[in-house]
């Protein structure tokens, strides 16, 4: 059985995996989650957070696991697991990108999403403190992230959304060694996604040279709307 390390995306925390973890453990896997710096229960100042900070946090968590790790990155978490995978000596057996962003040539997250003409996320944000952070508009959060989730799960998730630190959104993405390209990689597309459009996800799949691409007919948050199906796909590619 595998060691899964689940890495959340922007505005979220380890809390978002609560419905998925029991299904993965039911297959016999070990599952670890973490709050990235300034997310969830982590109290790191937003002003100190960068994509490199995220990568180092994942590295520390992976190093605490005995044996190889399958890193799963959701949305912005795709960039974070890519940064972590660059670290020499880190025992990662596979990288799984769940409706996730991939590192590209010197662009930042905001510019990438702006180039996704079908994405609706930019209109759903409010910047705070001179762009030191971004908040999801409460009246748009359900439609953006949880369109196919039941009302109770969606309301619970919206209450837990945090302010996303600004620097990772505007930081130019430059990986030094691109070691992440050496790892087996899987992409899971979400076909009802309004944050990263299906067309944009497909473009990343075509450019990313993935070993396997899986499609789910879900919103941006299948860990809440379809945890059993997501766990099945993760189990299938864990071998």
**Distance from C-alpha of 147 to C-alpha of 9, rounded to nearest angstrom:** 17
Higher pLDDT, 132 or 38: 38
Q: State the average pLDDT over residues 97-115.
A: 84
Task: Judge whether residue 43 has pLDDT over 70.
Answer: yes
For the structural domain made of 3-236, what CATH number should be given?
3.40.50.1820
Task: Judge whether residue 179 has pLDDT over 90.
Answer: no
What secondary structure does DSSP assign to 136-167, as a single string? Answer: E-HHHHHHHH-TTS-HHHHHHHHHH--PEESH
pLDDT above 70 covers a percentage of the chain that reads 98
pLDDT digits (tens, 9 = 90+) for 197-224: 999 999 999 988 899 999 999 999 999 9
What secondary structure does DSSP assign to 115-137, as a single string? Answer: H-TT--SGGGEEEETTTTEEEE-
Residues 5, 65 contacting (CB under 8 angstroms): yes
- pLDDT, residue 105, reads 67
Task: Judge whether residue 104 has pLDDT over 80.
Answer: no
Domain ranges, ordered by start, for the chain: 3-236
Q: 220 by DSSP, 3-state: which?
A: coil
- pLDDT, residue 176, reads 75
Name residues whose C-beta falls within 8 Å of residue 142's C-beta, 6 or more positions apart in sequence.
Answer: 154, 158
pLDDT digits (tens, 9 = 90+) for 57-67: 999 999 999 99
From the list 134, 132, 78, the residue with the least C-alpha distance to 101 is 78
Please give the order of strands across the beta sheet that includes 125-128. Answer: 125-128, 133-136, 164-165
């Amino acid at each position: 059985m595998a060691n899964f390390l689940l890495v959340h995306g922007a505005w979220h925390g380890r809390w978002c995996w609560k419905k998925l973890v029991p299904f993965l453990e039911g297959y016999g896997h070990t599952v670890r989650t973490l709050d990235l710096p300034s997310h969830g229960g982590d109290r790191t100042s937003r002003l100190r957070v960068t994509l490199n900070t995220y990568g180092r946090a994942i590295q520390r968590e992976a190093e605490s696991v005995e044996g190889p790790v399958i890193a799963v990155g959701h949305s912005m978490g795709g960039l974070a697991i890519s940064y972590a995978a660059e670290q020499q000596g880190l025992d990662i057996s596979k990288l799984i990108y769940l409706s996730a962003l991939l590192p590209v040539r010197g662009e930042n997250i905001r510019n990438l999403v702006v180039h996704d003409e079908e994405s609706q996320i930019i209109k759903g944000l409010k910047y705070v403190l001179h762009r030191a952070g971004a908040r999801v508009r409460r009246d748009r959060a359900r439609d953006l992230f949880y369109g196919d989730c039941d009302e109770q799960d969606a309301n619970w998730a919206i209450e837990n959304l945090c302010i996303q630190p600004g620097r990772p959104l505007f930081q130019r993405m430059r990986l030094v060694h691109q070691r992440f390209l050496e790892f087996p990689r899987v992409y899971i597309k979400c076909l009802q996604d309004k944050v990263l459009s299906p067309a944009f996800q497909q473009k990343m799949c075509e450019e990313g040279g993935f070993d396997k691409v899986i499609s789910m007919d879900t919103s941006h948050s299948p860990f809440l709307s379809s945890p059993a199906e997501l766990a099945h796909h993760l189990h299938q590619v864990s071998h």
